[in-house]
A = this chain, B = another copy of it.
Amino acid sequence: MDNQDIRKAGLKVTLPRIKILELLENNTQRHVSAEDVYKMLLDNGEEIGLATVYRVLTQFEAAGLVTRHNFEGGHAVFELDRGGHHDHMVCVVCGKVEEFIDTTIEKRQREIAKEHGFEMVDHSLIIYGHCGNPKCKVGY
């Protein structure tokens, strides 16, 4: 019941919001920029303005439906929150993104924050490296 998620967020159930949420749910690549979303909607024949895409994604983020990541490169990417939190591993050559979750690190982070007098509310961990693809290996 996606529409309920929108409603629960205190937002009206409108066509742009439904379409954007659908796209995030069904799209193969989990990490998309606002521009990506906009273009995909266009390809699907939806007449949704870029400004609306930005607005909706920001609202979804505030509602906890999606997460915004600031990867390298100046533009943000969004990802549907499927309940489970996870971190990212990005290949510096091909850009491939893998997700992972590690309880050791998760736990340690909370401890470190506390040691510094912080109360952790969120975190961002991105590992950059060369992925398994031979073409992405060092010295190729």
Contact = CB atoms under 8 A, between A and B. Distances in A.
Nearest to A102: B112
B121 A92 contact: yes
21 contacts: A74-B74, A89-B112, A89-B113, A89-B116, A92-B121, A102-B108, A102-B112, A104-B108, A105-B108, A109-B125, A118-B129, A119-B129, A119-B130, A119-B138, A121-B128, A121-B129, A121-B130, A122-B127, A122-B129, A123-B126, A124-B124
B117 A132 contact: yes
Interface of A: 68, 70-72, 74, 76, 89, 91-92, 98, 100, 102, 104-105, 108-109, 112-113, 116-132, 137-138
Contact of A124 (B68, B117, B125, B138): B125
Instruction: Work out how many copies of this chain go into the complex.
Output: 2
